[in-house]
Amino acid sequence: MNPMLTIAVRAAREAGRIITRNFNRIDRLTISDKGSNDFVSEVDRNAEAVIINLLREKYPHHAILAEESGKQGADDYIWIIDPLDGTTNFLHGFPQFAVSIALKIKGRLEVGVVYDPVSEEMYTACRGEGALLNDKKIRVSGRKGLNGALLGTGLPYRDFRFTDNYMGMLKALIKDSAGVRRPGSAALDFAYVAAGRMDGFWELGLREWDFAAGALLVREAGGLVTDIGGGERYLETGNVIAGNIKVHNAMLKCILPHLDSKLTA
C-alpha cells in the first residue's frame, strides 16, 4: 500500500476511536460555537490533534490545512484534514459523521481517506488506482440519468446569500429525480456517491476539508466532480456537483438556470 495512504488510514482510525469513545457521553462534552450554527467540541479538537501528531511524526516537513487549527507550514505536500465532518449530527447523537483526510501534492489530490467510525467503513483512494471500501473496489452507480436517481445535497445553514438560487436547484432536482437526501456529512455524501449508494450530490459553500478526500474517491470510482457551473474550480469555490457522469450532466442542466455568477467566481 502507498505509505502515505497507510498513515492516513491509521490516523483516521485513531481519530475514529476518539469519536466513538465520546459518542455515548455527548451531554458531557465542552462545546463552543465558531459562528452562527457552527459548533466545535473537544472531540473535534482532540481528533484533529491525534491526526496531526501522527502525520507530523512521519512527515515533519509536510504542510497541513486542518479545519480547527488552520494552516501550518508551506510545502508541495499538504494534508487536508476534517477531523469530524458532521459535527452537528454527532452532537445530536445522529450517527452520520466521518473523519476526512486528503493529501495534495503540488496542487493535485493524490490520497483520500473517509472513515465512518460507526459503521467502521473505511473509504480509500490513491490517484490512478481506483477507490476502495474496506479494501474492496467500489464504482459509482450505473444509472443513466435523473429518472430513478437518488441524490444527496447539503442545505444552506450558515451562509444564506444564495438560498434562493439553491431552492431553485432543489425544486428542479426534486421534480426530476427519485428523491433527495440531506444526510449531514459532506465527506460521507461523496463516499456514498463513490460507492454507488447515491447517484449524485450537490452543495454550495463547502470548505476544502469537507470534500477533498471525497472528491478523489468519486473520481477514482469513475465519477465526475465539477464546480457548480461545470468547471474545474470546485475545491476553490466549494460549490460542487458530483455523480456518475450521466447523472452529473443531467444535474448540471437542471442547476445552470439557477446560477449566480458569484457562485462560479
Q: Tell which one of 9, 206, 217, 252 touches ligand IPD (CB under 6 A).
A: 206
- Beta-sheet strands, E only, within 58-148: 63-66, 70-72, 77-85, 98-105, 108-116, 121-126, 131-133, 136-138
Alpha carbons 192 and 187: distance in angstroms, whole number: 9
CB of 60 to ligand IPD, least distance (A): 26
Q: Which stretch binds ligand IPD (CB under 6 A): 3-11, 54-62, 84-92, 104-112?
A: 84-92
Handedness of CA 102, 95, 239, 139 (dihedral sign): positive
The answer to whether 221 touches 194, Cβ cutoff 8 Å, is: yes
CB of 64 to ligand IPD, least distance (A): 16
Alpha carbons 251 and 151: distance in angstroms, whole number: 9
Check whether 67 is labelled as a binding-site residue: yes
Q: Which stretch binds ligand IPD (CB under 6 A): 57-65, 202-210, 225-233, 251-259?
A: 202-210
User: At 185, is the secondary structure helix, strand, or coil?
Assistant: coil
Using the rule CB under 6 A, is 82 a contact of ligand IPD?
A: yes
Q: Within 10 A of 121 (CB to CB), how many other CB atoms are there?
A: 16
- Cell representation of residue 140: 459509482
Which of ligand IPD, Ca ion, none sits in contact with 41, Cβ below 5 to 8 A by type? none
CB of 85 to ligand IPD, least distance (A): 4
Using the rule CB under 5 A, is 82 a contact of Ca ion?
A: yes
Output phi, psi for 72, to 5 deg: -135, 125
Kindly tell me which of 199 and 210 has the beta carbon lying closer to ligand IPD: 210
Kindly tell me which of 82 and 246 has the beta carbon lying closer to ligand IPD: 82
CB of 54 to Ca ion, least distance (A): 18
Footprint of Ca ion on this chain (CB under 5 A)? 67, 82, 84-85, 210
Contacts to ligand IPD by CB under 6 A:
82, 85-88, 154, 184-186, 203, 206, 210
